[in-house]
Structure 1
Amino acid sequence: MTPGRTLDDRAVKLFIALAAFFCVNAVLAEFIGVKIFALEDTLGMAPLEWNLFGQSGSLNFTVGTLLWPFVFIMTDTVNEFYGKRGVRFISWLAVALIVFGFVFAFLAIATAPAGWWVTAAKDQGVPDYQAAFAAIFGQGMWSIVGSIIAFLIGQLIDVSVFHRIRNATGERWVWLRATGSTAISQLVDSFVVIYIAFVLGPQKWPTSLFLAVSSVNYVYKMLAAIALIPLLYLMRHGIRRYLGDARERELRAEASAD
């Protein structure tokens, strides 16, 4: 294939699209994750009080968790067709973009606001736009560091477990390698991010609260990942139609041998 025709290759176009969607979801999840939402209120349900490790609470999650299941799907799809190198590439790219985004968010906070802009939204209940902007985009450094480290560790574990299951089962049971790899990687991710952000960080959560909140977050992520298994098969079917049977089999064979 000549260099000028590289982008005519459907496999290359597909990888670019998957990588772009993966990175957008990962970066967006980090930035909107500052908001905590009540799942029961959102669904119009009565509060479900959980009780774990001597702690109790309702189902409150960062809104970033709404996007992470799609990140899992993208990870498994890239794993399936582009192998370990593909997942590692998009994972490091996502981390670089997240860091880049937060650096410029902090630079934006540091710029001097226009006087008229500070009170521009007071009629909407925001008396100080600068303070609101800083509170939303200036997330705690411990949370940022924790989420980035947890994300990267989770991704590297996911790709390894995915291919171990694939080597053991062959091309059968796509759902098993997708769900199995997510189950293990998110077990690590869910506990690492909260440990760094809230145990090592200034809030110094007790062990019981750390274990309870981490466990609830993990269960939520796993239920969401399982619910999206049909989407994984739908994407695989769409990719097969887009690439053609022969090219699709070739990519999966290369990914499996990676």
Structure 2
Amino acid sequence: MIDNIINNKAIKLFIVMAGFFVANALIAEFIGVKIFSLEQTLGLSPLSLSLFGIDNLSFNLTAGVLLWPFVFVLTDLINEYYGRRGVQLLSYLTAGLILYAFAMFYAGIELSPADFWPQSHINPALPAAEQQAIADKVGDYDYAYRLVFGQGLWIIIGSLVAFLIGQIIDVTVFHRIKQLTGERYIWLRATGSTLISQFIDSFVVLFIAFYLGADWGLSLVLAIGVVNYLYKFTMAILLTPVIYAVHYLIDRYLGEPLASEMKTAALRGR
């Protein structure tokens, strides 16, 4: 049985793509607790945008945005070769694994720390001044652990709902465009479906996590959603050549007859 799997190029490709898909989604969820300044990271002065009556907006983004564009590129590639059912399988599996991971994080948070652990990051061999400098930043390792991994329930719900809705919209738009255009215009079905699904995703997560869960005003949610989408829009356009390159590599790996057969079956939903 294992020989059949290992020697089957289509199965091996699906396993590899599924692994990257799940890993990217999980990592994006976990590192997403950090908010970073895109402009300062690039050595630029922060922008000062005004939208919906909200001033001084800039590209302060969750670190998870570094990986989500690749998740949606993988979604389009899986769409292309394995169809709607392939994307749905991985989307539901990923959502379940994210819930499982957060459950384990919360279980870990509730474990009583060993007496030495909350200060274990402070090396006693360091000079007293350096030890104090570290303690001033993070005096209690267990408390820092709780802050980093203890994301709020509304954020988790918003993120998962937005992810599933985004995936459903992405696969639907992708196949609709491909039905109309056939094998032509890879950029249109791949980038177009991503732009539409990411637009919905950007606002759903903020609406659930912060409008419902944190009493943010609707204007603030809309303003931050637009800023986030501007970043995602730009990344989707920039990644379009990557989609063509990966298509070429996959077709070479599978061989033209198998690649064409898989694309046809994927479009027909088999």
The 5 Å alignment of 1:1-258 reads 4-56=3-55, 57-122=57-122, 123=131, 124=134, 125-201=137-213, 203-258=214-269
> 1:202-249: CA deviations, max 9, x gaps?
x21111101100111111111111111111111111101111111111
Q: What is the letter of the counterpart of residue 160 of structure 2?
A: I
Which residues of structure 2 form unaligned runs of 5+? 123-130
Query: Is the contact made by 1:121 and 1:127 (CA closer than 8 Å) also made in structure 2?
Result: no
Q: Distance in 1 between matches of 2:25 and 2:102?
A: 13
Give the structure-1-normalised TM-score: 0.97
Q: Distance in 1 between matches of 2:222 and 2:2?
A: 52
Query: Is the contact made by 1:22 and 1:71 (CA closer than 8 Å) also made in structure 2?
Result: yes
4+ residue segments displaced more than 6 Å: none
Question: In terms of Rg, which structure is larger?
Answer: 2
Aligned residue number for residue 126 of structure 2:
none
- SS of 1:51's equivalent? strand
- SS of 2:138's equivalent? coil
| Number of residue pairs the alignment of both structures matches | 256
Give the structure-2-normalised TM-score: 0.93
> 1:36-92: CA deviations, max 9, x gaps?
000011000011111100112221000000000100110000000000000001101
1:99 offset after TM fit, Å? 0.5
Query: Is the contact made by 1:32 and 1:64 (CA closer than 8 Å) also made in structure 2?
Result: yes
Query: Is the contact made by 2:158 and 2:206 (CA closer than 8 Å) also made in structure 1?
Result: yes
Q: Distance in 2 between matches of 1:31 and 1:71?
A: 14
Q: Give the fraction of aligned pairs with identical amino acids, expressed as a percent.
A: 51
Query: Is the contact made by 2:9 and 2:254 (CA closer than 8 Å) also made in structure 1?
Result: yes
Superposed CA RMSD? 1.1
Q: What is the letter of the counterpart of residue 143 of structure 1?
A: I
- SS of 2:50's equivalent? strand
